[in-house]
């Protein structure tokens, strides 16, 4: 883990992007799916992450200390691609493929 903790993203900042059409509820769904992905794949290092979607508030921040070293590598390789892939307010589901591909690459499965 890096010596000094850093912020990976802040939910409120995603809502403040000029011209963004996403609502809080839309982004809350995305963040909740991200948290579940991190937990299922043993990439979360902190029990302080929300336990329910309703606990994901506008003030939510994902910090480097919330994820494992492997989790940081996965996020570096796939987070922005994942955000871009799901940047469609008309989507019917959240596509986790960019993060899944990054995980496969980090773990050497592809």
- Confirm whether 55 is domain-assigned: yes
Q: Which domain holds residue 50?
A: 7-106
- Which pLDDT does position 87 carry in this prediction? 77
pLDDT of residue 110: 57
Residue 100, CA distances (Å) to 18, 40, 43, 74, 103 in order: 29, 12, 12, 9, 5
Is 51 inside a domain boundary? yes
Q: Is 72 part of any domain?
A: yes
Q: Would 74 be classed as within a structural domain? A: yes
Q: Residue 2: inside a domain, yes or no?
A: no
- The number of domains in the chain is 1
Question: Does 86 fall in a domain?
Answer: yes
Q: What are the tens digits of pLDDT across the range 89-103?
A: 677 788 999 999 999
Is the whole model's pTM more than 0.95, yes or no? no
Instruction: Count the helix, strand and coil residues of the chain and give each as a percent rounded to the nearest 5.
Output: 50, 10, 40
Query: Could you report the per-residue pLDDT of 36-90, keeping only the tens digit for each?
Result: 999 999 999 977 899 999 999 999 999 999 999 999 999 999 998 998 888 776 7
């Amino acid at each position: 883990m890096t010596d000094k903790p850093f912020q990976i993203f802040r939910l409120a900042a995603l809502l403040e992007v000029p011209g963004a059409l996403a609502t809080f509820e839309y982004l809350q769904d995305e963040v909740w799916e991200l948290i579940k992905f991190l937990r299922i794949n043993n990439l979360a290092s902190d029990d302080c992450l929300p336990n329910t979607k309703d606990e994901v508030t506008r003030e939510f921040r994902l910090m480097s200390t919330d994820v494992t070293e492997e989790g940081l590598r996965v996020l570096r390789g796939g987070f922005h691609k994942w955000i871009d892939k799901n940047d469609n307010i008309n989507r019917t589901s959240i596509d986790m493929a960019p993060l899944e591909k990054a995980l496969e690459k980090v773990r050497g499965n592809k």
